[in-house]
């Protein structure tokens, strides 16, 4: 045994002609580099393993990639594969010799170990950012390159060539070692870490320095990227603790919306410059998107091409394996050589080698496919974020006339945000299919023709001819879906009306009347859903039946038109090719449909981006400011001496009799001045004409006039919201020396607070609506809420001023909304306050309190300039300056005394109106005594009820906390599959349809197994007995009958599943509606309206349209999996040994994934709604946002919401890729056992291949469980 390294023959150790002339010693020389590397690296790895500095954490602050990182990993994996081939060749060659020759495979084994160690060593050095230790790798690759080159030269001198496998392997290893040596030289050149005086210091990525970034896909090594290994921590932790926003962290900088917005904006602006000289041309968004996101799309397309090409390795390997097995069975296999060395041809024709190649090809195919999916999804998310930022930026600059004149509605903006951007994102997901599918189809037809000749063209023609029917079905499916969406919108509208008025309906017992209206609309929706279900079932049927029809036409044609018998290798390889060929044709209609939708979306988006924008007005840019000047017109202005505690009754006569002290008019300053102003809403006609006004600084200016005379338009014109046809709006400088009410307070130069006539609230708390981004000051906040009489209303809210209001929060009355908007304007630290009819929704008491405490006391004592638009003429006595409007022009301007003197008729008209208002006021005051008492009593009752309710909720929370102490019980409930809900859904469709579905599914898959088994028997009999014409007719007839039965059962099963789903949807919605409507009032008081509506919208949509096809896919893939297990076990019983550990692995993979997927899906849903609401509330409150000059703050909020939603979606996508990689790679282990005799062996390999194409049922189980959680919420 001591001489077994070179064999037992002593002549093998002869070195008389030189050491390098002895092949054994040349092989021994190749051991030197491997031993050297192991001797150097093992101590470093083991010594540094326990030290804290060498431990690689997820958020390692020195994590970076050296130059050539990805290339190094690719070359290393290729080298490992070549080492495996070298080991196999050495073992086979050694088995052909009389004695043991370890030198044939021992250096290859050591090389495999050393190469594996090199990549582990490199990974640790890279994560530690210590490149000096890479010198050992450089020396290793140099030594390995030299020794392999010597070995290759000796083979060349011995007369070996490419026909010898050992020569080819050695040549490939020389190339790979040389390339890895070049990579190391490049690292030395860039990092300058060996002989250079000033090494190049490389900082880790900025994202990894921020511990909040937890999406690590761009930063991990290539192996972790391919396997999503970095996701293991999150997936496993989800089983212990629910995933929240803190767990997924922030987006990397390159994926944030602002980064992608800048790229897309620059590309779009470049397109705008190109067409600037061509009035009839519009900038191309397509080109802008290509320039901004073209590179990742090309990368994804490359991955997709590689995946599609590797997908054809399956049929080719199946053909080779079956052919070798048949030749061995028939005794015609002459590939076993007699020479001591193995040729390349012998190696590639070996069935075990082909099985390994099939295994590796399928793993690589799925790896490239998942990489393509990930890149497109990431790019699509980045595009969506950039588009949302562009749309939002445009909304903030959108001309008010576009919204007021109906040219751009809020619904159109919501559609752009919620639909059009998603359409473009989904088109980007499917984009690589556009150019990958033609190549896949052409390659499939060529391989089919190569296998079966002209008969294969018949099957291909069947597929191509049936493709238009698929497109027609897809078109009708889209039309039915649109019709269903229209009815669904109408149903939701009626449901929303019922829920908003549920208290009134219950008071009059009208619930069933309005429920009947909803049910009628639901029946129309169900009628449309029937059409949708019909075309969905036809689409599923076509996808399942076309391969059967194509195979039937091909094999029948081959049986009668060709003179050659059908061989197992040809039959089963062509079967797998037909399965591959159908997929792109099936997707073609979907891709075309999304492409058409994307074109329409781009047109709508372009129209929106090119719409009119608001001008850059002086108050925004800071230009056209007025110097401090005296106002000659302010004669007779006096300081107020009004008693603020007196009752709210005002008379013009009392103003005449008052003794107001005069103050010098020469010191009056002008805050705003409009000269010769003509303003329009965009129609070209002036809405406001000949406007010449002055608004004094630090005083109360009232704008009065009849309804529709232009008072609100005047404020908007001052704010720059209207189109200026002529004239100018001037804003004065601020007197910085003038003291303010707070010593520490400072104001912006052109700061404005504005309360619109129509109150606008944020979807936020009461406090956030009032502070509106300003720092919270408790004293000031208390003063503002008291001045606006908000404290009693705040006390009634469940959580006080922390209660969420707005569209998604608690409904408030019009007066409450108005006072919150006024409080917002009062709270802001601004110089100028514009109030547009703040008393319109308030009663007399609240109006008087707001006037006395909020305007006359809070604002005027603060010396702030106030412009008040009002119809309350009784407050004119408090005005320092009055602007009277009529028909879009200024009728009169001045003090009340000026108007009394110069326009007696107007003054008397005001007195007449004042007398009428006084009479109405007296009646209101008499009636309001009882009203006030009732309000006080009601508030007390509500307060007691709210307090009791909160106490009950506190008790419930304490009970829940006691229950939640047992975390194992909670996690068991989270990880439990909702079988009870699943059974409820199935039984809701009716027991007859359930039985029919199960029976037809079992019968269908039994027929499909019978088809493949019949084909296996047919081809096996041909290869053994060379069956004649009579038997051929027998097999063709049986095959045709089975195929016809299979096609018919495909139709029955698809129709049954869809109809059962439709029946279940009908019954579940009926039960949900009645259960909600008949619920107690307390349920509606404690449950947010949005949460209830979500049951009728999103969850109902999942039940209607998503669960049935997912259920069909789940049952199909599950039965196919069971069929595959049965057939492979029948053909290869030893397969059952491997089935148990693989089944356990599948169980734990789906168990962990389902929990994490559910959490991430919920995060995606919950983060999407605030984003959409932010867009709608911005469009509604656009004037207010621009008046406050808070565009930057709202942009930042939009970017944060977009990034939050994107990070949730990215993690969900990465989790799906994590599942796909693990389930597919685990299932590929089945293939290693799927070899047996003749046609039955081919059948087992074919079933394995088809199951791999189906991705196994695990993904469908996880998807179905996610849908069932929505169903569970509806059921309970």
Residue 187's pLDDT is 87
User: Look-up: residue for tokens 């295994």?
Assistant: 359
- Average pLDDT of the residues in 323-331: 68
Mean pLDDT of 1088-1108: 77
Residue 1080, Ramachandran bin (φ over 0: left; ψ between -120 and 50: alpha; else beta): beta
| Paired strand residues for 693 | 674
Q: Which helix (H) or strand (E) holds 377?
A: helix 351-396
pLDDT at residue 941, as a whole number? 39
Model confidence band, residue 940 (pLDDT cutoffs 50, 70, 90):
very low
pLDDT: is 852 or 1272 the higher one?
Answer: 852
- Give the pLDDT of residue 1011: 85
Lowest mean pLDDT among 19-28, 879-888, 1045-1054: 19-28
Classify residue 625 by burial, with Cβ atoms within 10 Å: 0-12, 13-18, 19+: middle
Assigned token pair, 493? 């509208």
Q: Percentage of residues in the chain with pLDDT exceeding 70?
A: 78
Q: What is the pLDDT of residue 298?
A: 92
Does the structure show a pLDDT above 70 at 858?
yes
Could you give all domains of the chain from N- to C-terminal order, each with its CATH number?
Answer: 10-199 (no CATH), 618-633+666-735+746-928 (3.40.50.300)
The whole-number pLDDT of residue 944 equals: 41
Instruction: Give the range among 269-278, 472-481, 622-631, 1055-1064 with minimum mean pLDDT.
Output: 622-631
Closest CA to 701 of 718, 686, 723, 720: 718
Which pair of structure tokens corresponds to residue 676? 């010769």
Q: How far is CA 1211 from the centre of its chain?
A: 9
Per-residue pLDDT of 516-544, as tens digits, reads 888 888 898 889 889 988 988 888 888 88
pLDDT tens for each residue of 339-363:
667 777 888 888 788 888 888 888 8
Strand 881-886 versus strand 700-705 pairing type:
parallel
Mean pLDDT computed over 355-378: 89
The 10s digit of each residue's pLDDT in 409-429 is 777 788 888 888 988 998 998
Q: For residue 628, report the phi and psi dihedrals to the nearest 5 degrees.
A: -70, 125
Structure confidence by residue, pLDDT tens digits, 209-221: 777 888 989 888 8
Sheet with 723-732, strands from edge to edge, namely 625-626, 723-732, 670-680, 686-696
* 128 or 1159, greater pLDDT: 1159
Residue 1113: the pLDDT is 78
The reported pLDDT for the residue numbered 1026 is: 53
Among 95-99, 568-572, 739-743, 1097-1101, where is mean pLDDT lowest?
739-743
What pTM value is reported for the model? Answer: 0.82
CB within 8 Å of 342: residues ≥ 6 apart: 89, 92, 93, 165, 166
- Determine which of 270-274, 747-751, 1235-1239 has the lowest per-residue pLDDT on average: 1235-1239
| C-alpha to C-alpha distance for 900 and 881, rounded to whole angstroms | 13
Q: Could you give the CA distance from residue 371 to residue 427 in angstroms, rounded to a whole number?
A: 17
What are the respective helix, strand and coil percentages of the chain, to the nearest 5?
70, 5, 20
User: Which stretches does DSSP call E strand in 887-952?
Assistant: 889-894
Q: What is the pLDDT of residue 860?
A: 76
Mean pLDDT of 1153-1160: 88
Read off the pLDDT of residues 941-998 as tens digits, 9 standing for 90 and up.
344 444 444 445 444 444 444 444 444 444 444 555 566 777 788 888 888 888 888 8
Return the half-sphere exposure (C-beta side, CA atoms, 13 A cut-off) of residue 583: 15
Least confidently predicted of 508-517, 614-623, 764-773 = 614-623
pLDDT tens string 1169-1202:
888 888 888 988 899 999 998 999 999 999 999 9
The pLDDT of residue 863 is: 81
Q: What is the structure's pLDDT at 652?
A: 47
Please name the residue ranges forming H helices in 416-454: 421-452
Residue 374: pLDDT band by 50, 70, 90 thresholds? very high
Say what the alpha-carbon torsion angle 1192, 1195, 1197, 1201 is, to the nearest 10 degrees. -170
Interatomic CA distance for residues 781 and 789, integer angstroms? 12
Is pLDDT of 1238 > 50? Answer: no
Quick one: CA dihedral 836, 841, 843, 845, positive or negative?
negative
- In this prediction, residues 64-75 reach a mean pLDDT of 90
Tell me the per-residue pLDDT of 733-762, one tens digit each, with 9 for 90 and over: 544 434 343 433 344 445 899 999 889 998
Mean model confidence pLDDT for the chain: 78
| Segment 1033-1057, tens digit of pLDDT | 888 888 899 999 999 999 999 899 8
Pairwise CA distance, residues 748 & 1142, whole Å: 68
* Cα of 197 vs its chain's centroid, Å: 49
**What was the pLDDT predicted at 966?**
45
Q: Is the pLDDT of residue 27 over 90?
A: no
For the cut 50, the answer to whether the pLDDT of residue 1259 exceeds it is: no
Looking at residue 315, what is its pLDDT?
83
Q: Which of 259-273, 296-310, 416-430 has the lowest mean pLDDT?
A: 416-430
Measured distance CA(993)–CA(989) in Å, rounded: 7
Which residue is listed with tokens 């030893």? 1134
Residue 934 confidence class, pLDDT cut points 50, 70, 90: very low
In Å, what is the CA distance from 434 to each residue of 302, 587, 588? 13, 10, 8
Considering only residues 261 and 65, tell me which one the structure prediction assigns the higher pLDDT: 261
Alpha helices in 278-312 (DSSP H): 285-311
pLDDT band at 14 (very low <50, low <70, confident <90, very high): low
Which of the pair, 744 or 571, is modelled with greater confidence?
A: 571
Two structure tokens written together for 200? 């190049």
């Amino acid at each position: 045994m001591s001489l077994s390294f070179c064999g037992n023959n002593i002549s093998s150790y002869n070195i008389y002609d030189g050491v390098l002339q002895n092949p054994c010693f040349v092989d021994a020389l190749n051991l030197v580099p491997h031993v050297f590397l192991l001797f150097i690296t093992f101590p470093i790895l083991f010594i540094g393993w326990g030290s804290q500095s060498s431990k690689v954490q997820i958020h390692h602050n020195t994590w970076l990639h050296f130059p050539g990182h990805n290339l190094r990993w690719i070359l290393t994996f290729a080298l490992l594969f070549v080492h495996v081939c070298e080991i196999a060749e050495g073992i086979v060659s050694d088995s052909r010799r009389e004695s043991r020759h370890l030198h044939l495979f021992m250096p290859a084994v050591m090389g495999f170990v050393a190469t594996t160690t090199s990549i582990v060593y490199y990974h640790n050095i890279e994560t530690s950012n210590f490149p000096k230790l890479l010198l050992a790798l450089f020396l290793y690759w140099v030594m390995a390159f030299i020794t392999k080159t010597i070995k290759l030269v000796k083979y060349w001198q011995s007369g070996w060539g490419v026909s010898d496998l050992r020569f080819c392997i050695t040549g490939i290893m020389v190339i790979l070692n040389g390339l890895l040596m070049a990579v190391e030289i490049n690292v030395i050149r860039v990092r300058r870490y060996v002989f250079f005086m000033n090494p190049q210091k490389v900082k880790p990525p900025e994202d990894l320095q921020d511990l909040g970034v937890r999406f690590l896909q761009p930063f991990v090594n290539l192996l972790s990227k391919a396997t999503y290994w970095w996701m293991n921590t999150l997936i496993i932790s989800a089983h212990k603790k629910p995933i929240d926003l803190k767990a997924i962290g922030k987006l990397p900088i390159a994926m944030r919306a602002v980064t992608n917005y800048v790229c897309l904006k620059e590309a779009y602006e470049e397109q705008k410059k190109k067409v600037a000289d061509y009035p009839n041309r519009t900038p191309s968004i397509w080109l802008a998107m290509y320039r901004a996101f073209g590179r990742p799309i090309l990368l994804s397309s490359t991955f997709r091409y590689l995946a599609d090409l590797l997908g054809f390795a399956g049929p080719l390997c199946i053909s080779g394996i079956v052919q070798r097995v048949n030749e061995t069975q028939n005794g015609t296999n002459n590939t076993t050589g007699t020479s001591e060395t193995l040729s390349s041809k012998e190696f590639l024709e070996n069935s075990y080698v082909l099985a390994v190649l099939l295994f590796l090809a399928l793993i690589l195919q799925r790896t490239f496919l998942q990489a393509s999916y990930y890149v497109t999804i990431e790019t699509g998310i980045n595009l969506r974020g950039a588009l949302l930022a562009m749309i939002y930026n445009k909304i903030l600059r959108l001309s008010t006339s576009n919204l007021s004149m109906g040219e751009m509605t809020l619904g159109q903006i919501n559609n752009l945000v919620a639909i059009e951007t998603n359409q473009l994102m989904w088109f980007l997901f499917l984009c690589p299919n556009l150019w990958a599918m033609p190549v896949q189809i052409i390659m499939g037809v060529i391989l089919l023709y190569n296998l079966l000749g002209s008969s294969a063209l018949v099957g291909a023609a069947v597929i191509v001819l049936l493709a238009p029917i698929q497109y027609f079905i897809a078109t009708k499916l889209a039309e039915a879906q649109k019709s269903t969406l229209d009815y669904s919108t109408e149903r939701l509208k009626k449901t929303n009306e019922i829920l908003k008025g549920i208290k009134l309906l219950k008071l009059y017992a009208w619930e069933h009347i309005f429920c009947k209206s909803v049910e009628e609309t639901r029946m129309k929706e169900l009628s449309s859903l029937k059409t949708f279900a019909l075309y969905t079932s036809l689409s599923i049927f076509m996808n399942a039946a076309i391969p059967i029809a194509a195979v039937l036409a091909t094999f029948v044609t081959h049986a009668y038109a060709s003179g050659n018998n059908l061989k197992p290798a040809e039959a089963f390889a062509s079967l797998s090719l037909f399965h591959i060929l159908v997929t792109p044709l099936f997707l073609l209609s979907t891709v075309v449909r999304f492409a058409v939708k994307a074109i329409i979306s781009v047109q709508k988006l372009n129209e929106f981006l090119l719409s009119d924008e608001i001008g850059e007005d002086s108050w925004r840019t800071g230009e056209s400011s007025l110097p401090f000047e005296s106002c000659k017109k302010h004669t007779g202005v006096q300081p107020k001496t009004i008693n603020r505690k007196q009752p709210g009754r005002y008379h013009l006569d009392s103003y005449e009799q008052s003794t107001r002290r005069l103050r010098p008019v020469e010191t009056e300053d002008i805050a705003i001045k409009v000269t010769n102003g003509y303003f329009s809403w965009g129609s070209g006609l002036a809405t406001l004409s000949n406007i010449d006004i002055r608004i004094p600084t630090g005083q109360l200016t009232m704008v009065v006039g009849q309804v529709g005379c232009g008072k609100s338009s005047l404020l908007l014109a001052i704010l720059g919201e209207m189109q200026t046809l002529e004239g100018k709006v001037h804003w004065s400088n601020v007197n910085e020396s003038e003291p303010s009410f707070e010593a520490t307070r400072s104001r912006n130069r052109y700061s404005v607070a504005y309360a619109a006539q129509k109150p606008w609230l944020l979807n936020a708390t009461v406090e956030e609506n009032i502070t509106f981004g300003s720092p919270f000051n408790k004293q000031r906040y208390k003063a503002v809420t008291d001045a606006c009489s908000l404290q009693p209303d705040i006390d009634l809210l469940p959580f006080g001023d922390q209660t969420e209001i707005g569209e998604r929060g608690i409904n408030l009355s019009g007066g409450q909304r108005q006072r919150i908007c006024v409080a917002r304007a009062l709270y802001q630290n601004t110089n100028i306050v514009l109030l547009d009819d703040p008393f319109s929704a308030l009663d007399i008491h609240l109006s008087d309190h707001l006037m006395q405490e909020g305007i006359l006391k809070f604002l005027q004592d603060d010396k702030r300039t106030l412009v008040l638009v009002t119809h309350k003429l009784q407050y004119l006595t408090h005005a320092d300056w009055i602007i009277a409007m009529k028909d879009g022009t200024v009728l009169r301007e001045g003090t009340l005394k000026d108007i009394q003197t110069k326009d007696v008729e107007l003054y008397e008209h005001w007195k007449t109106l004042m007398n009428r208002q006084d009479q109405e006021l007296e009646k209101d005051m008499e009636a309001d005594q009882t009203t006030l008492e009732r309000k006080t009593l009601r508030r007390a009752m509500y307060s007691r009820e709210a307090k009791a309710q909160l106490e009950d909720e506190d008790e419930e929370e304490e009970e829940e906390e006691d229950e939640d102490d047992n975390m194992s019980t909670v996690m068991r409930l989270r990880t439990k599959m909702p079988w009870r809900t699943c059974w409820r859904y199935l039984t809701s469709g009716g027991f007859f349809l359930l039985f029919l579905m199960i029976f037809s599914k079992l019968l269908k898959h039994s027929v499909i197994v019978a088809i493949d088994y019949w084909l296996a028997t047919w081809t096996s009999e041909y290869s053994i007995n060379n069956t004649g014409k009579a038997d051929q007719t027998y097999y063709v007839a049986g095959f045709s009958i089975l195929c016809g039965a299979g096609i018919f059962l495909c139709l029955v099963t698809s129709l049954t599943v869809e109809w059962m789903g439709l029946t279940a949807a009908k019954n579940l919605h009926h039960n949900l509606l009645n259960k909600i409507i008949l619920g107690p009032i307390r349920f509606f008081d404690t449950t947010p309206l949005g949460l209830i509506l979500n049951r009728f919208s999103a969850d109902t949509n999942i039940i209607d349209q998503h669960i049935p096809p997912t259920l069909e896919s789940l049952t199909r893939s599950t039965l196919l999996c069971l069929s595959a297990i049965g057939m492979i076990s029948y053909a290869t019983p030893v397969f059952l040994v491997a089935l148990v550990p693989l089944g356990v692995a599948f169980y734990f993979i789906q168990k962990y994934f389902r929990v994490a997927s559910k959490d991430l899906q919920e995060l995606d849903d919950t983060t999407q709604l605030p984003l959409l609401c932010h867009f709608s509330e911005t469009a509604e409150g656009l004037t207010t946002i621009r008046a406050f000059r808070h565009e930057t703050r709202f942009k930042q909020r939009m970017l944060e919401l977009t990034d939050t939603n994107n990070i949730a979606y990215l993690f969900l996508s990465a989790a799906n890729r994590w599942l796909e990689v693990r389930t597919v790679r685990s299932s590929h282990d089945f293939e290693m056992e799927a070899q047996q005799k003749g046609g039955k062996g081919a059948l087992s390999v074919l079933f394995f291949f088809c199951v791999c194409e189906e991705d196994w049922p695990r993904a469908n189980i996880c998807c179905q469980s996610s849908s069932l959680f929505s169903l569970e919420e509806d059921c309970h």
